[in-house]
Structure 1
Amino acid sequence: MATGAMVSARDHGIELPAQLSRIGYDNVFFTRHVYPLLSTINYPIDEMGKVAAQWVLSHVYQKSVQPIQTLFQPELVIRQSVVNIT
Protein backbone atom coordinates (compact mmCIF):
# COMPACT_ATOMS: atom_id res chain seq x y z
CA MET A 1 0.00 0.00 0.00
CA ALA A 2 2.76 2.43 0.92
CA THR A 3 4.66 1.85 -2.32
CA GLY A 4 1.46 2.28 -4.31
CA ALA A 5 0.83 5.57 -2.50
CA MET A 6 4.37 6.65 -3.37
CA VAL A 7 3.81 5.95 -7.06
CA SER A 8 0.49 7.79 -7.03
CA ALA A 9 2.01 10.78 -5.22
CA ARG A 10 4.84 11.02 -7.77
CA ASP A 11 2.31 10.71 -10.61
CA HIS A 12 0.54 13.76 -9.16
CA GLY A 13 3.74 15.80 -8.85
CA ILE A 14 4.17 15.42 -5.09
CA GLU A 15 7.81 15.35 -4.02
CA LEU A 16 8.77 12.53 -1.67
CA PRO A 17 9.59 12.95 1.15
CA ALA A 18 9.74 16.77 1.00
CA GLN A 19 5.97 17.16 0.60
CA LEU A 20 4.78 13.74 1.78
CA SER A 21 6.43 11.22 4.10
CA ARG A 22 5.50 7.55 3.76
CA ILE A 23 6.12 4.59 6.02
CA GLY A 24 5.35 0.95 5.35
CA TYR A 25 4.71 -2.04 7.53
CA ASP A 26 6.31 -5.50 7.74
CA ASN A 27 9.62 -4.57 6.06
CA VAL A 28 8.84 -6.62 2.96
CA PHE A 29 11.79 -7.25 0.64
CA PHE A 30 10.98 -4.67 -2.03
CA THR A 31 10.97 -1.72 0.42
CA ARG A 32 14.75 -1.61 -0.10
CA HIS A 33 14.31 -1.38 -3.87
CA VAL A 34 11.84 1.48 -4.40
CA TYR A 35 12.69 5.16 -4.68
CA PRO A 36 12.92 6.74 -2.27
CA LEU A 37 13.80 3.78 -0.08
CA LEU A 38 10.74 3.10 2.07
CA SER A 39 10.93 3.47 5.84
CA THR A 40 9.09 0.65 7.58
CA ILE A 41 8.20 -1.15 10.77
CA ASN A 42 10.08 -4.42 11.14
CA TYR A 43 8.67 -7.21 13.30
CA PRO A 44 10.78 -10.19 14.45
CA ILE A 45 8.92 -12.63 12.19
CA ASP A 46 11.38 -15.49 12.81
CA GLU A 47 10.99 -15.21 16.57
CA MET A 48 7.20 -14.92 16.28
CA GLY A 49 7.12 -18.05 14.10
CA LYS A 50 9.21 -20.01 16.60
CA VAL A 51 6.91 -19.07 19.49
CA ALA A 52 3.86 -20.01 17.42
CA ALA A 53 5.41 -23.35 16.42
CA GLN A 54 6.32 -24.13 20.03
CA TRP A 55 2.74 -23.36 21.10
CA VAL A 56 1.28 -25.60 18.39
CA LEU A 57 3.63 -28.48 19.18
CA SER A 58 2.94 -28.12 22.89
CA HIS A 59 -0.79 -28.19 22.21
CA VAL A 60 -0.53 -31.24 19.94
CA TYR A 61 1.73 -33.35 22.14
CA GLN A 62 0.73 -32.26 25.64
CA LYS A 63 -2.98 -31.77 24.94
CA SER A 64 -2.95 -28.50 26.88
CA VAL A 65 -3.28 -24.93 25.72
CA GLN A 66 -0.86 -22.51 27.31
CA PRO A 67 -1.48 -18.82 26.76
CA ILE A 68 1.27 -17.07 24.85
CA GLN A 69 2.75 -14.32 26.97
CA THR A 70 5.57 -13.12 24.78
CA LEU A 71 6.10 -9.47 23.97
CA PHE A 72 7.67 -8.81 20.60
CA GLN A 73 9.48 -5.53 20.05
CA PRO A 74 8.98 -3.88 16.67
CA GLU A 75 11.82 -1.90 15.12
CA LEU A 76 11.47 1.34 13.18
CA VAL A 77 13.68 1.18 10.08
CA ILE A 78 14.22 4.73 8.85
CA ARG A 79 15.18 5.01 5.21
CA GLN A 80 14.64 7.85 2.73
CA SER A 81 10.83 8.12 2.60
CA VAL A 82 10.36 10.25 5.73
CA VAL A 83 11.47 13.76 6.59
CA ASN A 84 13.70 14.19 9.63
CA ILE A 85 11.73 16.51 11.95
CA THR A 86 14.20 16.64 14.82
Structure 2
Amino acid sequence: MAWLVLLLVVLMLGAAVLVLLLDNLVAAVAAASVVSLLLSVLFALLAAPDVALTEAAVGAGLSGAVLALGLRRLGLAGIKAEDDHA
Protein backbone atom coordinates (compact mmCIF):
# COMPACT_ATOMS: atom_id res chain seq x y z
CA MET A 1 0.00 0.00 0.00
CA ALA A 2 2.81 2.40 0.83
CA TRP A 3 4.42 1.82 -2.57
CA LEU A 4 1.18 2.62 -4.35
CA VAL A 5 0.73 5.82 -2.36
CA LEU A 6 4.33 6.80 -3.08
CA LEU A 7 3.81 6.12 -6.80
CA LEU A 8 0.68 8.27 -6.85
CA VAL A 9 2.46 11.12 -5.07
CA VAL A 10 5.40 10.99 -7.49
CA LEU A 11 3.04 10.97 -10.48
CA MET A 12 1.11 13.92 -9.02
CA LEU A 13 4.33 15.87 -8.50
CA GLY A 14 5.42 15.10 -12.05
CA ALA A 15 2.10 16.28 -13.47
CA ALA A 16 2.25 19.43 -11.32
CA VAL A 17 5.71 20.23 -12.65
CA LEU A 18 4.39 19.69 -16.18
CA VAL A 19 1.67 22.27 -15.50
CA LEU A 20 4.41 24.82 -14.84
CA LEU A 21 6.68 23.84 -17.73
CA LEU A 22 4.30 23.24 -20.64
CA ASP A 23 4.02 25.96 -23.26
CA ASN A 24 0.69 24.66 -24.58
CA LEU A 25 -1.96 25.98 -22.20
CA VAL A 26 -4.51 23.30 -23.11
CA ALA A 27 -1.95 20.62 -22.22
CA ALA A 28 -1.30 22.43 -18.93
CA VAL A 29 -5.02 22.32 -18.12
CA ALA A 30 -5.04 18.60 -18.92
CA ALA A 31 -2.04 18.05 -16.64
CA ALA A 32 -3.80 19.93 -13.84
CA SER A 33 -6.80 17.63 -14.31
CA VAL A 34 -4.47 14.62 -14.08
CA VAL A 35 -3.22 15.92 -10.72
CA SER A 36 -6.81 16.09 -9.46
CA LEU A 37 -7.65 12.63 -10.79
CA LEU A 38 -4.61 11.08 -9.13
CA LEU A 39 -5.48 12.85 -5.90
CA SER A 40 -8.99 11.41 -6.05
CA VAL A 41 -7.49 7.93 -6.47
CA LEU A 42 -5.30 8.60 -3.44
CA PHE A 43 -8.34 9.64 -1.40
CA ALA A 44 -10.15 6.47 -2.46
CA LEU A 45 -7.17 4.37 -1.33
CA LEU A 46 -7.20 6.16 2.02
CA ALA A 47 -10.85 5.11 2.54
CA ALA A 48 -12.42 8.50 1.92
CA PRO A 49 -14.79 7.81 -0.98
CA ASP A 50 -16.89 10.94 -0.44
CA VAL A 51 -13.84 13.18 -0.68
CA ALA A 52 -12.56 11.19 -3.67
CA LEU A 53 -15.83 11.67 -5.58
CA THR A 54 -15.91 15.37 -4.76
CA GLU A 55 -12.30 15.83 -5.87
CA ALA A 56 -12.92 13.96 -9.10
CA ALA A 57 -16.06 15.92 -9.90
CA VAL A 58 -14.89 19.39 -8.91
CA GLY A 59 -11.12 19.19 -9.24
CA ALA A 60 -10.81 17.28 -12.49
CA GLY A 61 -14.18 17.77 -14.12
CA LEU A 62 -15.52 21.21 -13.35
CA SER A 63 -12.23 23.05 -12.87
CA GLY A 64 -10.76 21.59 -16.05
CA ALA A 65 -13.83 22.54 -18.02
CA VAL A 66 -13.88 26.09 -16.63
CA LEU A 67 -10.17 26.58 -17.35
CA ALA A 68 -10.49 25.18 -20.88
CA LEU A 69 -13.51 27.37 -21.62
CA GLY A 70 -11.64 30.38 -20.24
CA LEU A 71 -8.72 29.68 -22.54
CA ARG A 72 -11.08 29.39 -25.47
CA ARG A 73 -12.84 32.62 -24.55
CA LEU A 74 -9.52 34.48 -24.31
CA GLY A 75 -8.38 33.03 -27.61
CA LEU A 76 -5.45 31.18 -26.02
CA ALA A 77 -6.65 27.65 -26.67
CA GLY A 78 -5.15 27.41 -30.13
CA ILE A 79 -8.51 26.30 -31.55
CA LYS A 80 -9.61 28.35 -34.50
CA ALA A 81 -13.30 28.57 -35.32
CA GLU A 82 -14.08 27.86 -38.97
CA ASP A 83 -15.70 30.75 -40.75
CA ASP A 84 -18.51 30.08 -43.20
CA HIS A 85 -17.67 31.62 -46.57
CA ALA A 86 -21.07 31.23 -48.18
Q: Pick the TM interval, shorter chain.
A: 0.3 to 0.5
Q: Tell me: higher relative CO, structure 1 or 2? Use CA pairs within 8 A at least 6 residues apart.
A: 1
Greater helix fraction, Structure 1 or Structure 2:
2
Q: Which has the larger radius of gyration?
A: 1
- TM-score w.r.t. length of structure 2: 0.37
- TM-score w.r.t. length of structure 1: 0.37
Greater strand fraction, Structure 1 or Structure 2:
1
